[in-house]
């Protein structure tokens, strides 16, 4: 069962396994082929109401509506960036709201989803971290964000990044269940390699993830290869030392043969010094890792400022000299508060 199913709230069809739905259909005295029909409506067509399920008898639709819900996210706000990205603030039936973003390019549509409302890891540079954790999302709630964006763009989703609010590896089972559904041909049918989960470095779960059979992609937020700096920037993962992380990532690469990404947001005067660059180079050299140098999104009221674009280029060049592949990732939708948590913060302050 879901880690997070809430007592007293009717079960959401998105959170039910195939077996559970099959049981329900049996208990309603219906033939099993209805299960497939219902799953098509839920996972492929993203039906918003039982009345949409036109190939089911009306009596069954009415019975289903009595015992299960169809999720039902409400769009509280949306913003469109000049680059075409769209950011949404979506609310679930219990009032909790999260963000997700759709980023179109040529024939592709990438969706960035949240795995928790808020986050308990407390990273110093992150808007989400500032307000703490409200709750983890169910797998259905994670999946629904992707479908909401798909329906709004009215096009197929080609990849999903789990880089919105929350720490996916503090909500491991539900995140994995959502990834599997997104991957499955009966769900969104998105290739496993195009599903990227980003973690701040919860080591036991990195090791668990290495043993999953699918070819999912892993990104780790590194932000500093100096223990003292990383402890200060990312207090939530202090107990997992960099040495430990280094070994865990070695094990991940050995097991999977897949190239992980390290995310590194350059913060002026904090993790962009020559000493920091030296440590980063040593941490990454002779590993398979790819480094994503990110422009820090300035969070209102934060003491942290982004480094200059020239400094980002220095990092890429110096990493390249020792054979470490690095690229500068453009922060999409920077003009629409695309940094983690910022749209929500603005909404809450009522300043839209």
**Binding residues for ligand SAH restricted to 101-160, rule: CB under 6 A:** 125-126
Alpha-carbon distance 228 to 317, whole Å?
25
- Smallest gap from Cβ 221 to ligand SF4, in A, equals 6
How many beta carbons lie within 10 A of that of residue 242, not counting itself? 18
Alpha-carbon distance 49 to 27, whole Å?
21
Instruction: Could you list the beta-strand ranges (E) of 106-255.
Output: 108-112, 116-118, 133-136, 159-162, 195-199, 217-221
Q: Which stretch binds ligand SAH (CB under 6 A): 20-28, 102-110, 133-141, 194-202?
A: 194-202
> Nearer Cβ to ligand SF4, position 162 or 315?
162
141 is catalytic: no
275 is catalytic: no
Q: Which one is catalytic: 2, 39, 99, 144? A: 99
Using the Cα atoms of residue 327, residue 333, residue 334 and residue 340 in order, give the sign of their dihedral. Answer: negative
User: If DSSP codes are grouped into helix, strand and coil, which group holds residue 25?
Assistant: helix
User: If DSSP codes are grouped into helix, strand and coil, which group holds residue 304?
Assistant: coil
Asked whether position 166 contacts ligand SF4 by CB under 6 A, the answer is: yes
Alpha-carbon distance 35 to 26, whole Å?
9
**Binding residues for ligand SF4 restricted to 172-231, rule: CB under 6 A:** 200, 221
Q: Which stretch binds ligand SAH (CB under 6 A): 82-90, 186-194, 273-281, 295-303?
A: 295-303
Binding test (CB under 6 A) with ligand SAH, winner from 11, 294, 312, 319: 294
Site string for ligand SF4, 112-141 (x = CB under 6 A): -------x-xxx--x-xx------------
8 A C-beta contact, residue 315 and residue 272 = yes
| Binding residues with ligand SF4: total (CB under 6 A) | 13
Q: Which one is catalytic: 119, 123, 284, 340? A: 340
8 A C-beta contact, residue 18 and residue 25 = no
Residues near ligand SAH, by CB under 6 A: 125-126, 163, 167, 198-200, 221, 263, 265, 294, 296-297, 299, 339-340
> What are the catalytic residues?
99, 340
């Amino acid at each position: 069962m879901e880690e997070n199913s809430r007592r007293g709230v009717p079960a959401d069809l998105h959170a039910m396994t195939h077996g559970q739905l099959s049981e329900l259909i049996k208990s309603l005295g219906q033939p099993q082929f209805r299960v497939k029909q219902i799953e098509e409506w839920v996972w492929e067509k993203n039906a918003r109401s039982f009345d949409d399920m036109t190939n089911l008898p009306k009596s069954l639709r009415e019975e289903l509506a009595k015992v299960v819900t169809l999720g039902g996210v409400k769009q509280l706000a949306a913003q469109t960036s000049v680059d075409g990205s769209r950011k949404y603030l979506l609310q679930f039936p219990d009032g909790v709201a999260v963000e997700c973003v759709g980023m179109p390019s040529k024939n592709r549509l990438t969706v960035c989803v949240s795995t928790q409302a808020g986050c308990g890891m407390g990273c110093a540079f992150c808007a989400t971290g500032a307000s703490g954790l409200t709750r983890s999302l169910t797998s259905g709630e994670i999946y629904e964000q992707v479908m909401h964006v798909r329906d709004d763009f009215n096009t197929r989703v080609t990849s999903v990044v789990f880089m919105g609010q929350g720490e996916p590896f503090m909500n491991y089972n539900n995140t994995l269940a959502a990834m599997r559904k997104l991957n499955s041909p009966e769900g969104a049918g998105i290739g496993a390699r195009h599903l990227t989960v980003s973690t701040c470095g919860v080591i036991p779960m990195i090791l668990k993830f290495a043993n999953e059979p699918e070819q999912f992609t892993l990104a780790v937020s590194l932000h500093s290869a100096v223990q003292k700096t990383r402890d200060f920037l990312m207090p939530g993962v202090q107990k997992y030392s960099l040495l430990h992380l280094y070994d865990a990532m070695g094990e991940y690469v050995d097991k999977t043969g897949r190239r992980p990404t390290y995310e590194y947001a350059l913060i002026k005067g904090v993790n962009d010094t020559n000493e920091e660059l030296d440590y980063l180079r040593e941490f990454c050299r002779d590993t398979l890792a790819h480094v994503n140098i990110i422009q820090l999104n300035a969070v209102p009221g934060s003491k942290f400022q982004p480094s200059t674009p020239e400094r980002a280029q220095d990092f890429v060049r110096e990493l390249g000299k020792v054979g470490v592949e690095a690229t500068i990732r453009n922060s999409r939708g920077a003009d629409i508060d695309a940094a983690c948590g910022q749209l929500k913060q603005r909404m809450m302050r009522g300043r839209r």
